[in-house]
Amino acid sequence: MTGYARRGTLIRQLGEILESYPLIVLPVSSEQAFEQDADIASVESMRRLMAAQASMMAIPVLGFPAMSVPTGVANGLPTGVQLLGRRFDEETLLEAATVIETRAGTFTPIDPR
């Protein structure tokens, strides 16, 4: 019951913010992109990765549309942003993603080693 009440509060609060802004640009992760296989290197590494990307896991639970868009490559690792939008307004996210991808350009594929 407490969890559902908290979820409802977060949905209401985020909905109020999105009344003023049609979308929010967020980092994909709170850390730079991880090296390949970092999620399976150790239990601690997996926990660090999940904590760094908590927003990507929390937003869908709240029922808001979100998507990640690539923006470049830094030190051989991909970079990007996460777009968060109003409920039932995926069209705005897709339009914003198109603008970002068009301006960011095409990147050489990342070497999976």
- The per-residue pLDDT for 112 is 62
How confident is the model at residue 74, as a pLDDT? 83
Mean pLDDT of 59-78: 88
The percentage of the chain sitting over the pLDDT mark of 70, rounded to a whole number, equals: 95
Cβ pair 66, 93 in contact under 8 A: yes
How far is Cα 22 from Cα 89, in angstroms, rounded to an integer? 9
Rounded to a whole number of angstroms, the distance between the first and last alpha carbons of the chain is: 46
> In which band, very low, low, confident or very high, does the pLDDT at 106 lie, cut at 50, 70 and 90?
confident
The pair of structure tokens assigned to 78 is 């991909």
Give 66's strand partners: 84
What's this model's pTM, rounded to 2 decimal places? Answer: 0.78
